[in-house]
Amino acid sequence: METINVKINGVDYAVPKGSTVLEAAKAANIDIPTLCYLKDINEIGACRLCLVEVSEGGKPYRMVTACVYPVTEGMSILTNTPKIMQSRKTNLELVLSTHEKKCLSCVRSTTCELQKLCLEYGVDESRFKGERIEYAIDDASPIIRDNNKCILCRRCVAACKNVQEIGVIGANDRGFDTHIASAFEMKLADTSCVNCGQCIVSCPVGAIYERDDTDKVREALADPTKHVFICTAPSVRAQIGECFGYEPGTDCEGKMVAALKRLGFDGVYDMNLSADLTIMEEATEFIGRVKNGGVLPMITSCSPGWIKYCEHYYPEFVDNLSTCKSPQQMFGAVVKTYYAEKMGWDPKDIFFVSAIPCTAKKFEVGRPNQAAAGVPDVDVAITTREVGKMISTAGINFKALADEPFDNPFDIGSGAGAIFGATGGVMEAALRTAAEVIEGKPLEKLEFDEVRGVEGVKLASYKLGDINLNVAVASGTANAKKVLEAVKAGELDVQFIEIMACPGGCVNGGGQPIQPADVRMAIDLRKVRAAVLYNDDITSDVRKSHENSAVKKLYDEYFGEPNSHKAHEILHTSYIKRGL
């Protein structure tokens, strides 16, 4: 790596050539405060919090914004002079002058980047008192926007427009009237928003958050007539530790299960199991499509953000979608049909909760054709953040809990189910099963390395028996667009595509614990979090969905075989051509 020499606060450093002052300082372990900056996503120098003084070529020092200013050979940088500190403080006060300071009950209190800076800089009530515009809160969709708290940093806009290439929110009007909203002031629910929640995890303050459904869960838990179950997605165990101060990438499965049992759930189940069930259905559906001339390429259907994206932007691909319900919906459907019958319960008396890293799942529970037993398959979907909040408000000391296992009879999940949470994981799980079903013998190597990793688009070719198979994996809707456009143009010949709406997959979902910009600058959350799942896989006794004994039992006792008539009725769904 080519380096150049700079002086930061009087000390010499060699820093990577081409870096910004902010990156150079970070490399030298010096933090510069930021607010609008989000690595690779929003680098626009708008908030003026990262002001530093620089001197180049012996010229006098002048103030620049560190997040966008490139370093040059021999540059001298000062990061904390009284002049800088005073300027940052004034800028903070200006930001605060239009910010609704309802910090006491704010969902982001203690994780708010603005609050943290105010604490550091000793900024309290703003010196600048003046007009403030009152905005109505948009709470018609699972993603709630409150412009009264918005600081106009544009991080959400960049996540939506540049990362996801959806762009349903942006800056409207001008000057003091500038505010973030949708076209013609539409509510998010009336736009082509896919509910991915990447805006939420990008927001430094409490201006965007998911609908809080925890009260509904608490009410059900307190109702003695209800059987209340929760199943947790692979990515929740991998990230929930972050709500309790663990480093990103800490597997907290056992503590999570123990905590949920203490909240009073009648059963705490492993969604890896229904991920395996999904694979049984999806791999069978795929083989069927290949052999019977069905619609190809087939595209996975686990990610409800992706589903809504497809329905709005690529309705012509709706028939390519696997008809399999997502693992969350399959789980609820199984519990309210098979398990209810087995236990002699009325499905109406079952309250099924799904814990997920996803905000789009809140939309999915209300979709049509997701009610196998005549009642919604899933009653409430709560995010990793909401699960964390429920545990802490219940006074449960998460860190002190001993590990506990998932509950019978839905406690077994394979390693293939575990990796569902990472981009490429569903593809790999499906390939493991499809390969063994087609070839009729065990795979020598279970890892399909070509579809692993955080690249936005991954292509690979395999030979399963006498079938030559080309596959594509995309994460993030912008990458989904690339793949689908290539398929449409006839440039990409693939038979099977995995798409997840969030970059990196569910591990980086919109419902995951929010990490501030400085953490996201230092580590790639997608990699660190996915590593937990791949480790789960290696250490699992069962690593193939079709070898999951709990899944086999479901087929033996209830569904008969994958894609049977009964399986179709209970485990499959339909889609809508929404358009724009």
Partner 1 sequence: MKKNLTTVTFRGTKAQEEQLIAVIESLRGTPGAMMPVLQQAQEIYGYLPIEVQKIIATHMGVSLEEVYGVSTFYSQFALNPKGEISIGVCLGTACYVKGSGDILDRIVEVLGLPAGSTTPDGKYSLEATRCIGACGLAPVLTVNNEVYGKLTKNDVDGILAKYK
Which residues are near partner 1 by CB under 8 A?
161, 166-174, 177, 182-185, 191, 580
Question: For partner 1, which is the closer residue by CB, 389 or 481?
Answer: 481
Least distance between partner 1 and beta carbon 183 (Å): 4
Question: For partner 1, which is the closer residue by CB, 191 or 323?
Answer: 191
Least distance between partner 1 and beta carbon 297 (Å): 24
Least distance between partner 1 and beta carbon 192 (Å): 8
Question: For partner 1, which is the closer residue by CB, 182 or 320?
Answer: 182
- How many residues in total does the chain contain? 580
Question: For partner 1, which is the closer residue by CB, 36 or 168?
Answer: 168
Residues 6+ apart with CB under 8 A from 556: none
Question: For partner 1, which is the closer residue by CB, 185 or 215?
Answer: 185
Residue 144 token pair:
């709630």
Question: For partner 1, which is the closer residue by CB, 161 or 216?
Answer: 161
Q: Please check whether residue 419 is in contact with residue 403, taking contact to mean a CB–CB distance below 8 angstroms.
A: no
Question: For partner 1, which is the closer residue by CB, 135 or 246?
Answer: 135
The whole-angstrom separation of Cα 42 and Cα 404 is 41
Least distance between partner 1 and beta carbon 172 (Å): 5
DSSP H helices, 413-561, are 415-418, 425-439, 477-488, 517-522, 525-539, 549-554
Nearest in space to 549 (alpha carbons), one of 302, 233, 276: 276
Question: For partner 1, which is the closer residue by CB, 145 or 237?
Answer: 145
Least distance between partner 1 and beta carbon 305 (Å): 16
Question: For partner 1, which is the closer residue by CB, 172 or 495?
Answer: 172
Residue 2 token pair:
């080519």
Least distance between partner 1 and beta carbon 170 (Å): 4
Nearest in space to 420 (alpha carbons), one of 289, 573, 234, 181: 234
Question: For partner 1, which is the closer residue by CB, 167 or 456?
Answer: 167
Nearest in space to 510 (alpha carbons), one of 284, 218, 195: 195
CB atoms inside a 10 Å sphere around CB 22: 27
Residue 532 token pair:
């937990």
The whole-angstrom separation of Cα 289 and Cα 497 is 13
| Phi-psi category of residue 231: left, alpha or beta, with phi > 0 → left and psi -120 to 50 → alpha | beta
Q: Please check whether residue 63 is in contact with residue 87, taking contact to mean a CB–CB distance below 8 angstroms.
A: yes
DSSP class of 8: E
Per residue in 503-521, is it b (16+ CB within 10 Å) or e — as a string?
Answer: bbbbbbbbbbbbbebbebb
Least distance between partner 1 and beta carbon 173 (Å): 5
Question: For partner 1, which is the closer residue by CB, 183 or 538?
Answer: 183
Least distance between partner 1 and beta carbon 390 (Å): 34
Least distance between partner 1 and beta carbon 43 (Å): 19
Exposure of 296 by Cβ count < 10 A (0-12 exposed, 13-18 middle, 19+ buried)? middle
Least distance between partner 1 and beta carbon 403 (Å): 46
Least distance between partner 1 and beta carbon 177 (Å): 4
Q: Please check whether residue 423 is in contact with residue 524, taking contact to mean a CB–CB distance below 8 angstroms.
A: no
**Residue 297: is the preceding peptide bond cis (ω within 30°)?**
yes
The whole-angstrom separation of Cα 173 and Cα 169 is 13
